[in-house]
Amino acid sequence: MSSPVIVLVGPMGVGKSTVGRLLAERLGVAYRDTDDDIVTAEGRTVADIFVDEGEPAFRAIEKRAVRTALTEHEGVLALGGGAILDADTRALLAGLPVVYLSMDVEEAVRRTGLGAARPLLAVNPRKQWRELMEARRHLYEEAATAVVPTDGRTPEEVTEAALNALELKDV
Ligand SMILES: Nc1ncnc2c1ncn2[C@@H]1O[C@H](COP(=O)(O)OP(=O)(O)OP(=O)(O)O)[C@@H](O)[C@H]1O
Ligand SMILES: O=C(O)C1=C[C@@H](O)[C@@H](O)[C@H](O)C1
Ligand SMILES: [Mg+2]
């Protein structure tokens, strides 16, 4: 059994994919994303799974995908924004190098336009984002080995900050 060198958590659009790829490049390892794993395995988009089967069914699929990735992947792993809601997933994260990428709502609006492919933000996105974060912020923080704010930072700066925070800089 192996485990990721870094697990990235944080809300939709915070930069997990962008920073995850940069981190993987810097560390010479592979990047993996549980949302992508789900899309590949299911042969449909995350939004389609939400529409076809509802959020609880998506969460069940996600929980299995996260467990598999955490035990298989040795590189950088990004989790879907809501994966942290699952208590078993949180237990699996204990002791792993988890980086919580954070941002405020204004940065979220700039990054994502808060729409399109994100089913949970389809209606009144600013309010939805705030409510999601109120429910999740403490879960991200509790799971995190390091919290890395991304507001006003380039992806490269966020990458450096994450490497510093985990003391992986000279690896
Ligand atoms: N530090 C940053 N500064 C400004 N823009 C950024 C930064 N990081 C990422 N972005 C931009 O924000 C958007 C969302 O980034 P990204 O797709 O990496 O986020 P994510 O957390 O993987 O989102 P998702 O919920 O879709 O998985 C992209 O357009 C990306 O180019
Ligand atoms: O924050 C969330 O609940 C989600 C985040 C995305 O990564 C996807 O997993 C999906 O859109 C749900
Ligand atoms: Mg992503």
For a ligand 2 pocket test, name from 17, 34, 35 the mutation site with the most ligand atoms within 8 angstroms of its C-beta. 35
Q: Which residues line ligand 2 (CB under 6 A)?
A: 12, 35, 46, 80-82, 118-120
Residue of 4, 153, 133, 163 whose CA lies nearest to 74: 4
28 marked as part of a ligand binding site: no
Interval 2-22: pLDDT, tens:
899 999 999 988 999 999 999
Residue nearest to atom 14 of ligand 1 (CA): 13
35 marked as part of a ligand binding site: yes
What is the value of pTM for the model shown? 0.94
Interval 88-103: pLDDT, tens:
999 999 999 999 999 9
Domains of the chain by residue range: 6-165
Half-sphere exposure in the Cβ direction for 98 (13 Å, CA): 22
Give yes or no for a contact between 20 and 69, defined as CB atoms under 8 angstroms apart.
no
Interval 116-144: pLDDT, tens:
556 666 677 788 888 989 999 999 999 99
Domain 6-165: assigned CATH number? 3.40.50.300
Backbone angles phi, psi at 156, to 5 degrees: -65, -40
Alpha carbon 129 to chain centroid distance?
A: 15
67 lines ligand 1 (CB under 6 A): no
Predicted ipTM > 0.95 = yes
**Alpha-carbon Rg of the chain, whole angstroms?**
15
Atom of ligand 2 nearest to the CA of 79: 7
